Copies of this chain bind each other. A is one copy, B any other.
Amino acid sequence: MGAGLVGSLLSLYLAQRGHEVTIYERRADLRKAGSVEGRSINLALSDRGWRALEGVGIGEEIRRVGIPMYRRVMHDQQGQLSFQPYGQDNQAIYSVSRAGLNRTLLDLAEQNPRIQLRFNEQCLGIDLRANHLELRDTLTGAQHTVPFQQLFGTDGAFSAVRGAMQRTDRFNYSQSYLEYGYKELTIEAGPGGEWPLEKNALHIWPRGQYLMIALPNLDGSFNCTLFFPYEGAHSFAALQTAAQVQAFFEEIFPDALPLMPDLREEFFQNPVGSLVTVRCFPWAFDDNVLLLGDASHAIVPFYGQGMNAGFEDCTVLNELLEHHGNDWSTVFEQFQRQRKPDADAMAELALYNFEEMRDRVADPRFLLQKKIESKIAAQYPGQWLSLYSQVTFSHIPYAEAWANGQRQEQIMRRLMPHIQAEADFAKPAVQTLIRNELAQQERQPPSEG
């Protein structure tokens, strides 16, 4: 149930293993003209996502239409820039179009003889005993029932499949909203399709309690997202007129404003989206139903890991099917036991990174710390990988990455009082401190946390 990014990718994995798959999707086929874009326009693909796409052979095809972003570019209120690389050398996260990626996955699914696509089919309910899915054709209003052997709920943060499971006894569930919403805006392409800001970067306007970001598109434009409080002095509620919006952007985002000619129209036409974290357990009902992606672990977007985590679900499930064959009961049970702690850690990481992006990246001490960490990583390969790199450029389970990152943060808190500038890194006293910390860490194996 659900032909979004995770559902369509999962269908390819299941078909690859010889299974017959029918995908039901509430919305119209997004490849057809006139279909409405539901969610954010750009996504940041990173290593976990790539691995999952490569597993069905489409990594290269997607990479050709993605734009690598090698660093964060921070814009301060005077338009001054500062920079933070994401990783080493050529490491990058990739700006890709959500709709474009979904279209590619649906095209592949459609070409596969084992996969059937059924759009405009709303899930009304599930009979978990009889293994029946109750559907409504949204075009005719007709209701019908279809049997299933295994049902995969890949129908997103507001999953109808999860809704049915929530009515079973002892289903733990929470949905928790930030007091912030988001609005999507546009920085236009320059003359001749030039990118008016550095193309291969993710741009951030950190403002303490809120922020704006921008990701590049292939046509020279950038998609901006303003993450902003619903209420308060600086908030969506406080910006009610075009003049207020204009004055606010002039003061707060002065270097972006000239690049946003449609700002005042877009601001009042585009909706405010809400930011939810969904946690639940169990994810499986016997050997009949399994939730994946946002349906079981919707997170806020600040680590760029929502899609990557959902795609990694497909990788993990595929590995378990490789190992246990069609023993669905074992596969579903192991999947949820293994994956739930990682989903919980990723939810925490995403909330943590909101503070980093809106506030800490504007602090020179924070940027200095990141430079020092990068030097430690270069000097001690295999002993130090930054938290960001573990999450973004590795396949270390999220829970382990988060534990490692917290331990590293403790080390940096002890180290940074001795460092006032980048050059201090080379001082013998600092080098000794680092050596001792790493020796200490060696004695505590990384997976212990």
Instruction: Identify which of residues 134-184 in chain A touch chain B, using a CB-to-CB cut-off of 8 Å.
Output: 166, 169-177
From B169, B176, B177, A274 is in contact (CB under 8 Å) with: B169
Closest B residue to A158 by beta carbon equals B167
Q: How far is the CA of A175 from the CA of B162 in the complex (A)?
A: 13
Contact B177 A174 (CB under 8 A): no
**Residues of chain B within 8 A of A169, CB atoms compared:** 274
Which residues of chain A in 175-218 are interfacial with respect to chain B, using CB atoms and an 8 Å cutoff? 175-177
Provide the main secondary structure of the chain A interface. strand
8 Å CB contact of A177 from B172, B176, B230: B172
Counting chain B CB atoms within 10 Å of each CB, the highest count among A170, A175, A230 belongs to A170
Nearest CB on B from A409, distance (A): 28
Q: Nearest chain-B residue to A230 (Cβ)?
A: B170
Complex CA–CA separation, A172 to B166 (angstroms): 15
Report chain B residues within 8 Å CB of A177. 170-172
The docked-state distance in angstroms from the alpha carbon of A175 to that of B279 is 10
A172 neighbours in B (Cβ, 8 Å): 175-177
In the assembled complex, the Cα of A171 lies from the Cα of B174 at a distance in Å of: 10
- Which of A205-263 touch B at CB < 8 Å? 230
Contacts of A166 in B (CB 8 A): 175
A173, B174: Cβ atoms under 8 Å? yes
Cα–Cα, bound, A173→B274 (Å): 15
From residue A41, how far is it (CB to closest CB) to chain B in Å?
20
What is the CA–CA distance of A169 and B175 in the complex, to the nearest angstrom? 11
Contacts of A274 in B (CB 8 A): 169-170
Report A388-404 residues with CB < 8 Å from chain B CB: none
Q: Which of B170, B174, B230 contacts A174 (CB 8 A)?
A: B174
A70 to B293, CA, bound (A): 53
Q: 5 smallest A-B Cβ distances: which pairs?
A: A174-B174, A170-B177, A173-B175, A170-B274, A169-B274
6 residue pairs from A and B, CB less than 8 Å apart: A171-B177, A172-B176, A173-B174, A173-B175, A174-B175, A174-B176
Known A171-B175, A172-B176, A174-B174; further 10 A-B contacts with Cβ < 8 A: A166-B175, A170-B177, A170-B230, A170-B274, A171-B177, A172-B175, A172-B177, A173-B173, A173-B175, A174-B175
